[in-house]
């Protein structure tokens, strides 16, 4: 009885894994989501992992019976074409009327959105006017942020070194519109 219950609970603890999550390079499996935490093991490049949860820039994973944390950018999440939890697929079908892997679309009246929808579209100014009622002002937004304990910090775009964009990197000082 207890064994059945345990198995049932295990099945319900659906990880967010897909069948093909891997580490893209040799990575350290850490005891906690910090770079100076103890190293549980070193995972070889391309090892399979099961992703369980995320905290900041770390995923909690299991790999070959060991559990620990790996940096998010070291994980390559594979697509679920190789098989995902049955519960996930069924839930997707129910909510969207579509089955991802089989490509079957059930007509439920829910609109998809593709390129043809856009090129055929006629502008809907009335709908646009209605969206004005959703917007909030800066002050309301700040109160909203405070309620969750969010606070502003000053960070220059330059911290993101290691890449170039073709546009101008600098804001035009003094121009606020």
For 4-73, give the DSSP string. HHHHHHHHHS--S--TT-EESS-EEEESSSSTTSPEEEEEPTT-B-EEEEEETTEEEEEETTEEEEEEGG
Q: Would you say 39 or 157 has its CB closer to other proteins?
A: 157
CA dist list (Å): 134 to 127, 137, 140: 12, 10, 12
Told to check if 159 binds other proteins by CB under 8 A, we report yes
Q: Is 152 left (phi over 0), alpha (psi -120 to 50) or beta?
A: beta
In the complex with other proteins, the residue whose CB is nearer, 3 or 147, is: 147
Contact (Cβ atoms closer than 8 angstroms) between residue 23 and residue 45: yes
Please select the residue that binds other proteins; options are 79, 85, 90, 107, rule is CB under 8 A.
Answer: 79
Per CB under 8 A, contacts with other proteins among 11-70 are: 16, 18, 21, 54, 56-57
Please, what is the minimum distance in Å from the beta carbon of residue 47 to other proteins?
17
Instruction: Write out the binding residues for other proteins, residues 111-150 only, by CB under 8 A.
Output: 111-125, 127-128, 130-138, 140-142, 144-145, 148-150
Tell me how far, at minimum, the Cβ of 7 lies from other proteins, in Å: 25
Of 33 and 68, which CB lies nearer to other proteins in the complex structure?
Answer: 33
Rule CB under 8 A: is residue 90 a binding residue for other proteins? no
Is 165 a binder of other proteins (CB under 8 A)?
yes
Using CB under 8 A, pick the residue from 22, 32, 78, 85 that binds other proteins: 78
Rounded least distance, CB 66 to other proteins, Å: 21
Tell how strand 27-30 and strand 39-43 pair up: antiparallel
What does residue 33 show for φ and ψ, rounded to 5 degrees?
Answer: -75, 55
Using the minimum distance from each CB to other proteins, give the nearer residue, 12 or 156: 156
Q: Pairing state of beta strands 66-71 and 58-63? A: antiparallel
Q: For residue 171, give both structure tokens.
A: 């804001």
């Amino acid at each position: 009885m207890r064994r059945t219950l345990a198995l049932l609970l295990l099945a319900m603890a659906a990880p967010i894994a897909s069948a093909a999550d891997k580490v893209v390079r040799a990575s350290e499996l850490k005891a906690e989501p910090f770079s100076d935490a103890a190293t549980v093991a070193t995972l070889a490049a391309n090892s399979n992992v099961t992703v369980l949860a995320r905290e900041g820039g770390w995923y909690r994973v299991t790999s070959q019976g060991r559990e620990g944390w790996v940096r998010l950018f070291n994980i390559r999440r594979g697509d679920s074409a190789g098989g995902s939890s049955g519960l996930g697929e069924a839930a997707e079908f129910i909510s969207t009327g579509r089955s991802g892997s089989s490509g079957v679309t059930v007509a439920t009246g829910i609109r998809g959105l593709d390129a043809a929808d856009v090129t055929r579209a006629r502008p809907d100014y009335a709908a646009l006017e209605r969206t004005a009622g959703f917007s909030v002002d800066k002050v309301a937004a700040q109160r909203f942020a405070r309620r969750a304990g969010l606070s502003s910090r000053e960070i220059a775009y330059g911290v993101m070194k290691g890449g170039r964009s073709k546009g101008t990197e600098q804001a035009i000082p003094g121009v606020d519109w």
